[in-house]
């Protein structure tokens, strides 16, 4: 290839990369536009929003909408703000994520290292549960929660999410453990290690990448869930998403859009923080069990 041809190829490559970056930047700006609108309007007085300046930067900066959304917005009977519902979500999400992750790890361990007859059929049925629409399980779940005395409670909501999420966590851990060296398990058995010793001392310590995947997936799904919260939660156990909907859909008083925007950002902040802190490990964890060797 001549020097002129090489220079032409280099210039063409630079132009192509520049066009790609420009297009990507435009898409990113378009994608971030709703967040910009929410952030900007959450620090404005309501008068600036109703005056038609929704896209403008605030003339008067104020955090009053944030304080009101958190502590004094009218959501239910009392002006409690979103704070108690935030803690309801925390009390629901933490045990649900922990239990479903541990049970998924145990299921993956059994289905790969303690094989038994028809184990593939059992795994197929658990995998099938991942594709059952939420709406189909509402009545059976409501019936079971009533029989167990957990209807309208935070623990009942946590149980619902554990049951619905265990299929996903089992899938993740089963695929991850499938490429884990079985020889280590056999060696541990020869040394006298039992079922739970092998799990706690050998498999679980090496399960960090896939555990992060399971935690991020479960945390995001459970925190953002609205249907189960609206269907099974009582007045005192409603999660953040249901409370946010009640705040936005309130029919009394003036529509305080700045408070609504602040509340929406507060509701989205935990999942955003999870992805910022651990998001880079998500794809890494998924890929860790995809290739053997």
Q: What is the pLDDT of residue 180?
A: 84
48 and 100 inside one domain:
no
Structural domain count of the chain: 2
Q: What is the mean pLDDT of the chain?
A: 85
Q: What is the CATH number of the domain that holds 87?
A: 1.10.3720.10
Q: What b/e sequence results for 112-147 when a residue is b if at least 16 CB atoms lie within 10 Å of its CB, and e otherwise?
A: bbeeeeeeeeebeebeebeeeeeeebeeebeebbee
Residue 7 lies inside a defined structural domain of this protein? no
Q: What is the pLDDT of residue 10?
A: 56
Place of tokens 């299929």: 167
**Shared-domain flag, residues 41 and 101:** no
Considering the domain boundaries, does residue 78 fall inside one? no
Cβ-contact 50, 255 below 8 angstroms? no
Same domain, 41 and 173: no
Q: Are residues 109 and 222 in the same domain?
A: yes
Q: Are residues 37 and 139 in the same domain?
A: no
Residue 67 lies in a domain: no
96 and 221 assigned to the same domain: yes
For the question of whether the overall pTM of this predicted structure is more than 0.95, the answer is no
How many residues does the structure list for the chain?
293
**Mean pLDDT, contiguous 10-residue spans, the chain (293 residues):** 53 79 92 90 87 82 90 81 92 94 92 85 84 85 90 91 91 88 85 86 86 91 91 88 86 79 92 81 66 47
Give the distance between the most distant pair of CA atoms in the chain: 81
Residues 56 and 177 in one domain: no
Please check whether residues 244 and 151 belong to one and the same domain: yes
Q: Domain for residue 141, yes or no?
A: yes
In a domain, 8, yes or no: no
Q: According to the model, what pLDDT value does residue 40 have?
A: 92
Whether 120 and 21 share a structural domain: no
Asked whether residue 110 is assigned to any structural domain, the reply reads: yes
What was the pLDDT predicted at 94?
Answer: 94
pLDDT score recorded for residue 7: 54
Tens digit of pLDDT for each residue in 13-63?
778 888 889 999 999 999 889 889 999 999 998 888 888 777 888 888 889
Domain of residue 91, residue span:
83-288
Q: Are residues 138 and 29 in the same domain?
A: no
What whole-number distance in Å separates Cα of residue 164 and Cα of residue 148?
A: 17
Q: Is residue 31 located within the same domain as residue 126?
A: no
């Amino acid at each position: 290839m001549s020097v002129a041809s090489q220079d032409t190829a280099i210039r063409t490559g630079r132009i192509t990369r520049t066009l790609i970056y420009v297009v990507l930047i435009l898409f990113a700006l378009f994608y971030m536009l709703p967040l910009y609108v929410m952030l900007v309007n959450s620090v404005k007085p309501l008068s600036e929003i109703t005056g038609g300046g929704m896209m403008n930067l605030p003339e008067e900066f104020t955090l009053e909408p944030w304080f009101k959304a958190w502590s004094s917005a009218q959501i239910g009977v009392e002006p409690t703000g979103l704070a108690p519902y935030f803690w309801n979500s925390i009390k629901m999400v933490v045990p649900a994520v922990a239990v479903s992750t541990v049970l998924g790890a145990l299921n993956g361990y059994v289905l790969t290292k303690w094989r038994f007859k028809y184990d593939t059929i059992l795994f197929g049925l658990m995998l099938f549960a991942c594709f059952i629409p939420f709406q189909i399980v509402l009545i059976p779940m409501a019936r079971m929660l009533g029989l167990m005395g957990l209807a309208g409670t935070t623990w009942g909501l946590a149980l619902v999410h554990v049951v619905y999420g265990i299929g996903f966590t089992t899938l993740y851990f089963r695929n991850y453990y499938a490429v884990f060296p079985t020889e280590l398990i056999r060696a541990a058995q020869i040394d006298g290690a039992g079922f739970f010793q092998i799990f706690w001392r050998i498999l679980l310590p090496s399960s960090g990448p896939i555990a992060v995947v399971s935690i991020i997936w479960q945390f995001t799904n459970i925190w953002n869930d609205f249907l189960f919260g609206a269907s099974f939660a009582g007045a005192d156990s409603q999660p953040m998403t249901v409370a946010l909907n009640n705040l936005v859909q309130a029919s009394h008083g003036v529509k305080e859009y700045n408070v609504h925007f602040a509340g929406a950002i507060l509701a989205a902040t935990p999942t955003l923080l999870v992805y910022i802190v651990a998001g880079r490990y998500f794809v890494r964890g998924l890929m860790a069990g995809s290739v053997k060797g």
